[in-house]
């Protein structure tokens, strides 16, 4: 069974989502691994969205916005341009491959380019493998749990 | 009439919260007057078995400070949860993991390897590391097993209220304890479960008295690199202040003294991940649209992870360094 990555695509309403829509109406095939989420502007993408996605099962996050200079809200995509590299740096320092977060500028007419980006990104994440996170949820019956007062006669425990 | 019982406990803690409670000065007499002390390792000599011998729900209020990172912390957290009516996560460590939470950048093995191996002046060729249970000629010696990760109190037991801060400021503690005494004396209803006490619903910036204008930062500096203007926002002068992503309630005392906020009151209201919000806020105020210039400006931040998550790593979305 090949690993099927779960990718969250956060697409801005004006350019990227429309570009993705164009890929759809033109029947351009791309992997179904990407689940798309529409935001009004790529400047809305909070680093918390990326962490939330990765913490809850996503293997990769793709953020798409309007080309610099073309943002519907003038400056939103510049904020995104500043946020994503900072988020990638945080991911790297947390030990998560920063390649799992990708920023691309996709205009409303770039359906073909969107198809190419999603296909490439899916294969890249497939090669990276599933994101395995540890110590996310507290388990009371954890295997390394010892009782508060070990009883005499307990075998010698080592880590 | 029996007095309601009060317990204060320290788990993975520095003791500062206990001192902060004592720092309410003469108001501690009102506390001692109203409550019967059931358990407070910092100030009184009650034993764990004294707590275990109490009925469930015998302790009216427990202020639990310190993070959960070993068997003992967890066992006493569970014990106090059973024996208490109201359990408060008191202070940053219990609420968000606090400074001990930064151990989540490593794991137990890495910590032991450094502390008992590679640290300066340590000589330990046989790799003698502490073990939970060791047989010695006299019998068996037990020390609580250390866990691989640090957890916050709400992550391991059911918690009623959160009182953030490192430590919670004494004036806030006095206000909270005063309110509790008032509620218990006059039969008023308790606040809804999960309420954050002793803090505001806004950020530290709201309490800061410095003048704030438009933030456009071209360069980040360390506090010693400039002589900061005492009246202007520190962030606007290029000093990294985590105030925008920190809950208010502390009175912004650090900033008033010229030190940038470090984020000890934890997440503001409605924020799930403090570090992510700080990164987001920072990106908003960096004054550049050129990718290379942005990289240069951001590269001047020596340790973004440690700076943004100094107090809340254990409660962040990704919880710990994952490699």
* B82 plus B185 within the same structural domain: yes
B5 in any annotated domain: yes
Cα distance between residue B225 and residue A46, in whole Å: 31
**Cβ–Cβ under 8 Å, residues B151 and B103:** no
Residue B46's domain spans which residues?
Answer: 1-198
Considering only CB atoms, which chain A residues are within 8 Å of B284? Answer: 79, 82
Tokens found for residue B55? 């009925």
* B183 plus B226 within the same structural domain: no
* A2 conformational bin, left if phi > 0, alpha if psi -120 to 50, beta if neither: beta
Q: What's the length of chain A?
A: 159
Cα distance between residue B275 and residue B295, in whole Å: 19
As a whole number of Å, the end-to-end CA separation of chain A is: 35
Rounded mean pLDDT of chain B?
94
| Lowest mean per-residue pLDDT among A88-97, B139-148, B219-228, B278-287 | B139-148
* B50 plus B184 within the same structural domain: yes
Residue whose pair of structure tokens reads 């294969």 in the numeric block: A123
B145 in any annotated domain: yes
Q: Each residue of B68-78: pLDDT tens digit?
A: 999 899 999 99
Rounded mean pLDDT of chain A?
89
Domains defined along chain A, listed by start: 7-128 (3.40.50)
Q: Each residue of B91-143: pLDDT tens digit?
A: 999 999 999 999 999 999 999 999 999 999 999 999 899 888 888 999 888 88
* B192 plus B239 within the same structural domain: no
As a whole number of Å, the end-to-end CA separation of chain B is: 57
- The residue from B172, B198, B224 where one domain ends is B198
B322 in any annotated domain: no
Q: In this prediction, does ipTM exceed 0.85? A: yes
Cα distance between residue B183 and residue B294, in whole Å: 53
B320 in any annotated domain: no
Cα-based torsion angle of the residue sequence B56, B61, B63, B64 in order, rounded to the nearest 10 degrees:
10
Asked whether the beta carbons of residue A48 and residue B145 sit closer than 8 angstroms, the reply is: no
**Cβ–Cβ under 8 Å, residues B47 and B79:** no
In chain B, the number of structural domains is: 2
Out of B112, B140, B279, name the one closest to residue A90 (CB).
B279
* B253 plus B159 within the same structural domain: no
Q: Each residue of B78-87: pLDDT tens digit?
A: 999 999 999 9
Whether B156 shows a pLDDT value over 60: the answer reads yes
Nearest CA in chain B to A55: B318
* B103 plus B191 within the same structural domain: yes
Contacts of A153 (CB under 8 A, 6+ apart): none
Asked whether the beta carbons of residue B308 and residue A90 sit closer than 8 angstroms, the reply is: yes
**Cβ–Cβ under 8 Å, residues B287 and B216:** yes
B323 in any annotated domain: no
* B22 plus B42 within the same structural domain: yes
**Cβ–Cβ under 8 Å, residues B252 and B208:** yes
A-interface mutation test, from B132, B275, B304, most A Cβ less than 10 A away? B132
CA distance to partner chain A, nearest, from residue B224 (Å):
24
- The residue from B164, B198, B232 where one domain ends is B198
Compare A74 and A146 and report the one with higher pLDDT. Answer: A74
* B188 plus B268 within the same structural domain: no
B289 in any annotated domain: yes
Cα distance between residue B267 and residue B127, in whole Å: 40
pLDDT interval class at A141 (50, 70, 90): low
- The residue from B145, B179, B198 where one domain ends is B198
Tokens found for residue A94? 């947390």
Out of A48, A50, A95, name the one closest to residue B277 (CB).
A48
Considering only CB atoms, which chain B residues are within 8 Å of A154? Answer: 133, 140
* B81 plus B146 within the same structural domain: yes
Mean pLDDT of A49-59: 96
B212 in any annotated domain: yes
**What CATH number corresponds to the domain at position B24?**
3.40.50.700
Percentage of residues in chain A having pLDDT higher than 70: 87
pTM for the model stands at 0.91
Residue B145: what are its φ and ψ, rounded to 5°? Answer: -70, 135
* B104 plus B237 within the same structural domain: no
* B116 plus B151 within the same structural domain: yes
* B266 plus B177 within the same structural domain: no
Mean pLDDT of A17-35: 96
């Amino acid at each position: 069974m090949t690993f099927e990555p779960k990718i969250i695509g956060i697409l801005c309403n004006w350019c990227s989502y429309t570009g993705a829509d164009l890929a759809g109406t033109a029947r351009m095939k791309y992997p179904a691994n990407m689940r798309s989420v529409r935001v009004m502007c790529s400047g809305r993408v909070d680093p918390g969205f990326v962490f939330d996605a990765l913490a809850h099962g996503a293997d990769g996050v793709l953020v798409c916005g309007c080309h610099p200079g073309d943002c519907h809200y003038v400056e939103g995509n510049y904020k995104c341009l500043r946020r994503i590299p900072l988020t990638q740096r945080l991911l790297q320092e947390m030990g998560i491959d920063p390649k799992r977060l990708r920023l691309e500028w996709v205009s409303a007419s770039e359906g073909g380019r969107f198809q190419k980006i999603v296909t490439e990104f899916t294969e890249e994440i497939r090669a990276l493998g599933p994101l395995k996170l540890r110590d996310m949820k507290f388990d009371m019956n954890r295997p390394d749990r010892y009782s508060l007062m070990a009883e005499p006669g307990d075998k010698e425990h080592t880590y | 009439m029996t007095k309601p019982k009060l317990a204060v406990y320290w788990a993975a803690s520095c003791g500062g919260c206990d001192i902060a409670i004592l720092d309410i000065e003469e108001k501690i007499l009102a506390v001692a007057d109203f409550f019967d002390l059931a358990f407070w390792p910092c100030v009184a000599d009650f034993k764990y078995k004294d707590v275990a011998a109490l009925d469930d729900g015998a302790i009216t209020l427990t202020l639990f400070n310190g993070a959960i990172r070993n068997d003992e912390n967890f066992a006493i957290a569970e014990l106090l949860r059973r024996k208490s009516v109201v359990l408060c996560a008191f202070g940053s460590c219990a609420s968000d993991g606090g400074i001990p939470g930064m151990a989540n950048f490593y794991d137990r093995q890495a910590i032991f390897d450094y502390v008992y191996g590679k640290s300066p002046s340590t000589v330990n060729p046989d790799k003698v590391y502490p073990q939970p249970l060791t047989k010695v000629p006299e019998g068996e010696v037990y020390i609580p097993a250390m866990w691989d990760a640090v957890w916050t109190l709400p992550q391991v037991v059911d918690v009623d209220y959160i009182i953030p801060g490192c430590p919670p400021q004494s004036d806030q503690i006095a206000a909270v304890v005063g309110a509790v005494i008032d509620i218990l004396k006059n039969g008023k209803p308790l606040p809804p479960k999960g309420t954050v006490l002793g803090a505001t619903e806004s950020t530290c910036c709201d309490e800061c008295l410095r003048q704030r204008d438009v933030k456009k930062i071209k360069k980040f500096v360390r506090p010693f690199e400039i002589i900061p203007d005492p009246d202007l926002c520190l962030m606007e002068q290029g000093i990294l202040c985590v105030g925008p992503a920190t809950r208010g309630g502390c009175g912004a005392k650090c900033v008033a003294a010229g030190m940038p906020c470090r984020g000890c009151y934890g997440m503001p209201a409605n924020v799930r991940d403090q570090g992510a919000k700080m990164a987001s806020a920072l990106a908003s105020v960096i004054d550049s649209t050129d990718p290379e210039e942005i990289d240069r400006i951001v590269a001047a931040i020596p340790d973004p992870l440690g700076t943004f998550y100094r107090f809340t790593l254990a409660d962040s979305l990704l919880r710990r360094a994952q490699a």
